[in-house]
Amino acid sequence: MLRLLSALVEREALLSHLDHPGGRRPATGSLELVQAFVNTVDREHGPDLFDDDTGLQEWLARRMLAAEVLAGDRERALEVREALRSLLLANNGEPHDPAAQAALERAARRARLEPAFPPDGAALVPRAAGVDGALGRILAAAFAAMVDGSWTRLKACPREVCGWVFYDRSTNASATWCSMRVCGGRVKAGAYYRRRTRG
């Protein structure tokens, strides 16, 4: 019973994107959508909202991107999510991953992203329906952030089992870990920590 309750709480935290280690404030504007999308899994403790179609459907609905999840959609959502994480690791000093770039470009083509020129600001708009179109909105948000320069401050935590995405508000954009306490400290205490968790 307790375990079920805590699983529900964990799931809700991912759905509502309220968990921000280190007391960091999330990204603002449409960039927060990208951050929330990549943070749909707690890689260290679980759960992963995209383990089943229902989780993906529920997350999309929460973000006003409601779409019916059809065969293959969940796999494509996972591919886009992990490709974005890869780019966000590159924002944190990891090498560029050409396969991730290619995956995002494929997803952008599937979403049929097109430029639009409304008076309140130019934007890329997905012409595809369904989950492909919803993923297109996330890609359009990432693209806009790359153009306006805010993208480089969105980073994935480099501790292998973490990968949590945070928005770096430090003066020189020099933060590395999602939280010094959660990840930075553990990596620093490396050998000691590994010895203890193994035994």
Positions in the binding site for Zn ion (CB under 5 A): 157, 159, 162, 164, 178, 183
Least distance in Å: CB of 197 to Zn ion?
Answer: 16
Query: Distance between CA 190 and CA 131 in Å, rounded?
Result: 41
Between 137 and 159, CB nearer to Zn ion: 159
Closest separation in Å from C-beta 80 to Zn ion: 21
Minimum Å gap between C-beta 85 and Zn ion is: 12
The dihedral region occupied by 15, where left means phi > 0, alpha psi between -120 and 50, and beta the remainder, is alpha
Closest CA to 14 of 24, 156, 35: 35
Pick between residue 69 and residue 183 the one whose CB is nearest to Zn ion.
183
**Nearest CB to Zn ion, comparing residues 71 and 174:** 174
Cβ closest to Zn ion, residue 137 vs residue 186 = 186
Which residues does residue 114 pair with via DSSP β-bridges, in sequence order? 125
Question: In 63-116, which residue ranges form alpha helices assigned H by DSSP?
Answer: 73-90, 98-110
Burial classification of residue 183, based on how many CB atoms lie within 10 Å of its CB (0-12 exposed, 13-18 middle, 19 or more buried): buried
Give the nearest distance from C-beta 193 to Zn ion in angstroms.
13
